[in-house]
Chain A
Amino acid sequence: MTWVLDLFLLLFIAGTAVAALESRCLLTSSIILGAYSFMMCLVYASLGAVDVAFTEAAVGAGAGTVFFLATILRTGRKTSR
Chain B
Amino acid sequence: MNFIESSFIYWFFVILLMIGLYGAIAKVNLVKKLIGLTIFQTAIILFYVSIGQKKGAGIPILDVGHGHGPPPEITAAQYINPLPHVLMLTAIVVGVATVGVALAVIQRLYAEYGTVEEDEILEMIVTRE
Contacts and interface: CB of A to CB of B under 8 A. Distances in A.
Q: A contacts B directly in the complex (CB < 8 Å)?
A: yes
What class of interface size applies to chain A in its complex with B? Answer: 35 or more
Contacts of B116: 75-76, 79-80
Contacts of A51: 85, 89
B19 A17 contact: yes
A18 to B, nearest CB: 6
Interface of A: 3, 10, 13-14, 17-18, 20-21, 26, 29, 33, 36-37, 40, 43-44, 47-52, 55-56, 59-60, 63-64, 67-68, 70-72, 74-76, 79-81
A43 B57 CA distance: 17
Looking at chain A's contact residues, the main secondary structure is: helix
Contact of A14 (B15, B53, B93, B107): B15
Contacts of B53: 47-48
Given A52-B49, A55-B92, A75-B110, A17 B117 contact: no
B93 A59 contact: yes
Contacts of B32: 21, 26, 29, 80
Given A33-B35, A67-B96, 8 more contacts: A17-B16, A17-B20, A59-B96, A64-B38, A72-B31, A74-B107, A74-B110, A81-B117
